[in-house]
């Protein structure tokens, strides 16, 4: 029996939504599962994307054997370029997942040196003490897998993201049999997706949207425009099939839509009926009742194809009265208003909007398992230990509660972990034991210094609430006396025109602070800056109840 310990260390995605990343360590061998990103909260001002802090991996660089990807969504692969720029580790995944990764690496100029290894579901990867099998699962993206990671202490099952779709559109059934076999032989630890744990019942099959699209295709008298995620290849397939059936041609709009469909088609994952494609430049010349446009940009992102179509600023498509726009996507929390604005523009152009929940049949279905599917996963795998993953704390708690009936089937414990906590397993059992450095890295993707410091974000937040006030005091370097009345510059605080009186009083306040200071204090600029800041803060807060950022500048002239 081994005396080494197994450690399971979430580096992102537990207790937070997105940027999933998990390290699994046995002795001096580490493998990493997924390296995702997340889109920032509104309070992360000026930040475009957030990735996990990979410090733990960098510190243990020489032990890191490989990165294994479960599927190609941004919250699982979006951090890969940032991880790769720190450690050029080998990457394993299905062909489609790696094709999406390639595109991102190319953008970051990292593709040439990357070590990408395509693996098929059913195949095994051997990495030091680990043997990893990829198991096909159903999800809203094609080529998604769960992982069975065999370690000297037992098998870990990592579900990735999944739902159990009984009727997938590509007829590639969820591989229940392999999971069942592992479950029968005994599983040490199950890590399972908690995203939809608050939904009762089963998530509808991807096929559930077909009748709704059928209804739309039957009644639409002019163009049909579908906004959907470019990676939802199953959704695209259904729209293509319906278009072929109803004699419509299909144009793809948007950079990510073009590249995802090209990749999927190249890999045989998307069947494009003969002669169905319409070039974007031909849309406006085709008969409107013969046109379908599939467009990326479901979240109201300002530069996306769909947003540009909505404000009539797209070079290939101009909406007209009677066109029909379908929003076939989840609304990611925080984007409601941007999506609403986009739909208003569409409606102003006289096009009909089909969107929103509560429709039956639905125009969009989730890719994540609901409660009954989560229980099925638990019952198939029957693990000794259970760790819910991919969710906020309250979701993982609920998921752990779902597993409680398994205590009579050998479940010994469930662990609700947060990013950075270590789950340690040895021949005595499993326990939480210690922490590693984790955190988030904020990235301003357009800028050259990509990483935005926390301090800078804190300042921006302060500035965004009440603006700034900067008193400027000129000191004569020979006499040490201040020259004239201090200047004050300010923005984002109060209207300078309407409150000129306030600014004049503020100058007097600063002047008095200087006058009333001892000559000893005046020799120490740090002290003077602090005194001026404190007095001015008190004055402005009393006058306005606002707390601008105050930053006195003393200029020696």
- Our CB check for a second copy shows the closer of 44 and 98 to be 44
**Binding of a second copy at residue 200 (CB under 8 A)?**
yes
| Residue 78 C-beta: closest distance to a second copy, Å | 19
Residue 477 vs residues 483, 488, 517, 524: alpha-carbon distances, Å: 10, 21, 17, 13
Does 364 participate in catalysis according to the annotation?
no
Q: Which stretch binds a second copy (CB under 8 A): 125-133, 214-222, 386-394, 427-435?
A: 386-394
- Give, as one character, the DSSP assignment of residue 41: P
The secondary element (H helix, E strand) that includes residue 286 is none
- Our CB check for a second copy shows the closer of 170 and 418 to be 418
| Residue 74 C-beta: closest distance to a second copy, Å | 18
**Binding of a second copy at residue 393 (CB under 8 A)?**
yes
- Report whether 298 contacts 229 (CB < 8 A): yes
| Residue 146 C-beta: closest distance to a second copy, Å | 24
d(CA 211, CA 470) in angstroms, rounded, equals 63
**Binding of a second copy at residue 275 (CB under 8 A)?**
no
User: What length does the chain have?
Assistant: 557
Closest CA to 70 of 191, 198, 185: 191
**Binding of a second copy at residue 185 (CB under 8 A)?**
no
| Residue 25 C-beta: closest distance to a second copy, Å | 26
465, 500, 505, 512: which one contacts a second copy (CB under 8 A)?
A: 465
In the range 39-78, which residues lie near a second copy by CB under 8 A? 41-42, 45-46
Task: Kindly name the residue from 193, 323, 466, 535 that is annotated as catalytic.
Answer: 193
173, 180, 284, 347: which one contacts a second copy (CB under 8 A)?
A: 347
Closest CA to 103 of 267, 233, 259, 297: 259
Cβ neighbours of 450 (radius 10 Å) = 16
In the range 436-455, which residues lie near a second copy by CB under 8 A? 444, 446-449, 453, 455
21, 355, 374, 411: which one contacts a second copy (CB under 8 A)?
A: 355
**Binding of a second copy at residue 356 (CB under 8 A)?**
yes
Query: Sign of the CA dihedral 398, 403, 407, 413?
Result: negative
d(CA 434, CA 424) in angstroms, rounded, equals 9
| Residue 253 C-beta: closest distance to a second copy, Å | 20
493, 506, 513, 531: which one contacts a second copy (CB under 8 A)?
A: 493
- Our CB check for a second copy shows the closer of 135 and 325 to be 325
**Binding of a second copy at residue 499 (CB under 8 A)?**
yes
In the range 15-34, which residues lie near a second copy by CB under 8 A? 15, 17
**Binding of a second copy at residue 336 (CB under 8 A)?**
yes
Q: β-strand 154-158 against 413-414: which pairing, if any? A: unpaired
170, 214, 312, 459: which one contacts a second copy (CB under 8 A)?
A: 459
- Our CB check for a second copy shows the closer of 359 and 534 to be 359
Looking at beta carbons, which pairs linking 407-415 to residues 24 or more positions away fall under 8 Å? 409/379, 409/382, 410/382, 410/384, 411/382, 411/383, 411/384, 411/385, 411/386, 412/384, 412/385, 413/385, 413/386, 414/385, 414/386, 414/387, 414/388, 415/385, 415/386, 415/387
With b for 16 or more beta-carbon neighbours within 10 A and e for fewer, the 278-296 pattern comes to bebeebeeeeeeebbbbbb
498, 501, 515, 520: which one contacts a second copy (CB under 8 A)?
A: 498
Residue 538 in tokens: 């008190």
- Report whether 420 contacts 54 (CB < 8 A): no
| Residue 45 C-beta: closest distance to a second copy, Å | 4
Per-residue contact flags (x/-) with a second copy for residues 398 to 427, judged by CB under 8 A: x--x--------------------------
Q: Which stretch binds a second copy (CB under 8 A): 26-34, 95-103, 180-188, 344-352?
A: 344-352
Does 158 participate in catalysis according to the annotation?
no
- Give, as one character, the DSSP assignment of residue 283: G
Which residues does the annotation mark as catalytic? 193, 368
């Amino acid at each position: 029996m081994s005396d080494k310990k197994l450690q399971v260390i979430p580096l992102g995605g537990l207790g937070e939504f997105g940027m999933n990343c998990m390290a699994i360590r046995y002795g001096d061998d580490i493998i990493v599962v997924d390296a995702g990103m997340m889109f920032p909260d509104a309070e992360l001002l000026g930040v475009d994307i957030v990735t996990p802090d990979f410090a733990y991996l960098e510190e243990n660089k020489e032990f890191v054997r490989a990165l294994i990807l479960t599927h190609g969504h941004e919250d699982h692969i979006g951090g890969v370029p940032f991880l790769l720029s720190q450690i050029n580790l080998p990457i394993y995944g299905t062909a489609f997942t790696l094709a999406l990764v390639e595109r991102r690496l190319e953008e970051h100029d990292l593709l040439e040196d990357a070590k990408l290894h395509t693996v098929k579901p059913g195949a095994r990867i051997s990495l030091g003490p680990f043997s990893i099998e990829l198991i096909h699962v159903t999800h809203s993206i094609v080529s998604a897998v769960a992982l069975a990671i065999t370690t000297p202490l037992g098998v870990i099952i990592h579900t990735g993201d999944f739902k159990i779709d009984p009727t997938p559109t590509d007829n590639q059934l969820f591989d229940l049999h392999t999971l069942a076999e592992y479950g029968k032989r005994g599983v040490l630890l199950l890590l399972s997706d908690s995203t939809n744990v608050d939904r009762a019942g089963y998530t509808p099959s991807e096929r559930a949207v077909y009748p709704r699209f059928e209804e739309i295709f039957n009644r639409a008298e002019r163009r049909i425009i579908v906004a959907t995620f470019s990676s939802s290849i199953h959704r695209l397939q259904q729209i293509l099939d319906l278009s072929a059936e109803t004699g419509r041609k299909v144009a793809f709009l948007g950079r990510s839509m073009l590249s995802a469909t090209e990749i999927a088609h190249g890999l045989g994952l998307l069947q494009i009926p003969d002669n169905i494609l319409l070039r974007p430049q031909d849309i406006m010349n085709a008969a409107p009742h013969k046109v379908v446009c599939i467009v990326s940009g479901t979240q109201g992102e300002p530069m996306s194809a769909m947003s540009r179509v909505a404000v009539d600023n797209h070079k290939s498509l101009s909406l007209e009265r009677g066109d029909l726009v379908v929003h076939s996507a989840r609304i990611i929390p925080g984007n409601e208003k941007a999506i609403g604005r986009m739909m208003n523009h569409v409606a102003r152009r006289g096009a009909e909007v089909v969107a929103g929940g509560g429709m039956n049949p639905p125009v969009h279905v989730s890719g994540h398992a609901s409660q009954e599917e989560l229980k099925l996963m638990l019952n198939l795998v029957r693990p000794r230990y259970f760790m819910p993953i991919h969710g906020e704390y309250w979701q993982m708690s609920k998921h752990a509660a779902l597993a409680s009936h398994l205590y009579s089937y050998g479940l010994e414990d469930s662990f609700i972990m947060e990013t950075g906590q270590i789950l340690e397993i040895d021949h005595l059992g499993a326990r939480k034991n210690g922490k590693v450095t984790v955190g988030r890295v904020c990235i301003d993707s357009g800028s050259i210094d990509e990483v935005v410091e926390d301090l800078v974000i804190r300042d921006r937040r302060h500035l965004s609430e009440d603006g700034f006030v900067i008193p400027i005091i000129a000191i004569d370097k020979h006499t040490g006396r201040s020259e004239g009345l201090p200047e004050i510059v300010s923005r984002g605080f109060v209207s300078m025109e309407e409150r000129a009186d306030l600014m004049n009083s503020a100058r007097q306040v600063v002047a008095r602070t200087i006058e009333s200071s001892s000559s000893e204090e005046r020799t120490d600029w740090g002290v003077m800056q602090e005194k001026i800041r404190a007095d001015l803060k008190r004055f402005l807060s009393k006058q306005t109840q606002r707390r601008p950022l105050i930053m006195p500048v003393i200029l020696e002239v």
